[in-house]
A and B are shown apart, each in its own frame.
Chain A
């Protein structure tokens, strides 16, 4: 079945550091890709999406580019802030299969120190 892999379980940075969180996917069709963010005690929040090869999604200074050849959608931010501390989830939705469900990765805990 379709799946999403996030290799980093935890990332610790200092304010103004550059962030990369890696996301790779496996899908039989041509999925849409997403990033969600979850703060403590809250449900996940949609960050942005990309639905075709080489498309860049972005929001709140975060961005990721759909790479079909590498099956990747890595999250980046040029300068992180303490308020960015949260769990980040990569997800896919393979609508070509007729399903509208989101499949999430295992998440990456980002901790930003002042």
Chain B
């Protein structure tokens, strides 16, 4: 069984540039999460979906961050006008509902904003 796939693995931007991260969850998993993990910190939830619906995006900086999952499978997280404070690894995870708390994470996309 294929795991969670994320791309790109690395991105380096200047402040003000935009970037998109893509996630392909485990086949059949209806719930998809995006986490932000700053260096030497634990993952922090940004947004999560069940199928194509956003369940909780309260931690997503809505003015510059957006996330979609239009067909309830793959998902894209976009950052517009990146800031140095956005430097972090962006982790995608998936699970089946009801969630027992066992999330399956991808390897992450490491973003550096200069």
| CB contact between A105 and one of B31, B42, B105 (< 8 Å): that residue | B42
**CB proximity of A27 to chain B, nearest CB, Å:** 13
- The stretch from A14-22, A43-51, A66-74, A78-86 touching chain B is A43-51
A25 to B52, CA, bound (A): 32
Q: Which residue of B lies closest to A34 (CB)?
A: B101
**B interface: dominant SS:** loop
**CB proximity of A5 to chain B, nearest CB, Å:** 11
Q: Which residue of B lies closest to A90 (CB)?
A: B42
Interface bits A39-79 vs B (CB < 8 Å: 1, else 0): 00111111001000000000000000000000000000000
**CB proximity of A45 to chain B, nearest CB, Å:** 7
| CB contact between B103 and one of A42, A46, A105, A106 (< 8 Å): that residue | A46
Note all chain B residues with C-beta closer than 8 A to A105.
Answer: 42
Interface bits A1-36 vs B (CB < 8 Å: 1, else 0): 000100000000000000000000000000010100
Interface bits A100-112 vs B (CB < 8 Å: 1, else 0): 1111111100000
The tally of residues in A whose CB lies under 8 Å from a CB in B reads: 22
Most chain A beta-carbon contacts within 10 A, residue among B41, B93, B98, B99: B99
Note all chain B residues with C-beta closer than 8 A to A99.
Answer: 56
- The stretch from B43-51, B62-70, B80-88 touching chain A is B43-51
5 other A-B residue contacts (CB within 8 Å) besides A46-B104, A101-B33, A107-B40: A34-B101, A43-B106, A44-B43, A89-B42, A107-B41
List the interface of chain B (C-beta within 8 A of A).
Answer: 4, 31, 33, 40-45, 48, 55-56, 91, 93, 97-108
A-B contact pairs, 7 of them (CB 8 A): A34-B101, A43-B106, A46-B104, A49-B102, A93-B99, A104-B44, A106-B42
